[in-house]
Amino acid sequence: MTFPQAPLIATAQALMAPGKGLLAMDESVSTCNRRLSEVGIAQTEESRRRYRELLVTAPGLSEAISGAILFDATLQQKTGDGVPFVDVLRAAGIVVGIKVDAGAKALAGHAAEHVTEGLDGLRERLARYASLGARFAKWRAVLTIGDGLPSRACMLVNAHALARYAALCQEAQLVPIVEPEVLMDGGHSLARCSDVTTEVLHQVFEQLHRQEVALEGMVLKPNMVLPGLACELPASVDEVAEATLNCLRRAVPAAVAGIAFLSGGQPAALATARLNAMHQQASLPWPLTFSFGRALQQPALGLWAGSDSNRVAAQSALLHRARCNGAAARGAWRPAMETEAFPA
């Protein structure tokens, strides 16, 4: 490709700064409303704005957060004092990102599978997001493990969409976060998840190569290799770490700027422990960190419960989870950190 790669590489490296990870706060309106409803908060635009203000203004957040992934509406929201969220994050040294896909829709001829849409008009949207201060973007594909699933058609169409999105991002000088998520739903084994995830990643990187995406200027956001939620054979933290790293070694080129795992519905502390365990393994060709949503936010949301009187406690809970994961991204997390106070 002919566009400058140095700015992309610099942004990707900033996102993968040692001991830091990404805060995924890019929930759609419906998803955000559902989570607010679960803790008894009114499902209004103002509630969503106040909650996201709580997140972006948490003091000290940049100690363990390098970048924040926003939703379209959030990118344009402001604090109660009228300061754009983008400016709050940038002042804190946090890189601003944006979710750009239009969600997963039913895949024609494959009733149980989905393809992520949103390529139409993407070039123009990316230009607008860049003008508003975004420096990276995210696109999520979802794949289900089941009897004969995922189909090859599903893997190929999602890999192709991810690659087209990534190429357009780099054209706009935005670092693409490439997120092919193999879901935890189902009764599949750890080995089955490893096989599927490996094949999905092979297909994704084949398409990225065809679209001439610069691997040094992108970040991969994969699932960890996990047994399905209904699997009767649990896997230990170390088994998950080993299976995940073996999968990545087989499928992810060394040139990729970094890998930031999604949490995918894992319990918060367990996701942290699994990330930490990966750093106990032999040296790896890419840095590993986190790009968590619920696993960072949920404790804070529950404590806040819509009341500003709980704001300090909620922000402290967010910062605690960010610090725990920051420690895990260095391989320095200990179980005791889950209950002990961090230094102020």
C-alpha closest to that of 110 among 70, 134, 143: 143
Task: Please tell me which residue in 20, 27, 221, 242 is annotated as part of the active site.
Answer: 221
Question: For 152, what's the count of Cα atoms within 13 Å in the CB-facing half-sphere?
Answer: 0
At 189 the three-state DSSP class reads coil
Query: How big is the chain, counted in residues?
Result: 344
Question: Tokens 């930490």 map to which residue?
Answer: 276
> Distance (Å, rounded) from C-alpha 263 to C-alpha 275?
10
Q: Active site includes 221? A: yes
Burial track 28-44 (b if 16+ CB lie within 10 A, e otherwise): eeeebbebbeeeebeee
Q: How many CB atoms lie within 10 A of CB 191?
A: 13
Beta bridge partners, 288, equal 259
Task: Please tell me which residue in 113, 179, 181, 242 is annotated as part of the active site.
Answer: 179
> Distance (Å, rounded) from C-alpha 18 to C-alpha 326?
8
Question: For 99, what's the count of Cα atoms within 13 Å in the CB-facing half-sphere?
Answer: 26
Measured CA angle at 271 (ends 136, 302), to 5 deg: 85
Contact, 65 vs 293, CB < 8 A? Answer: no
List the catalytic residues. Answer: 179, 221
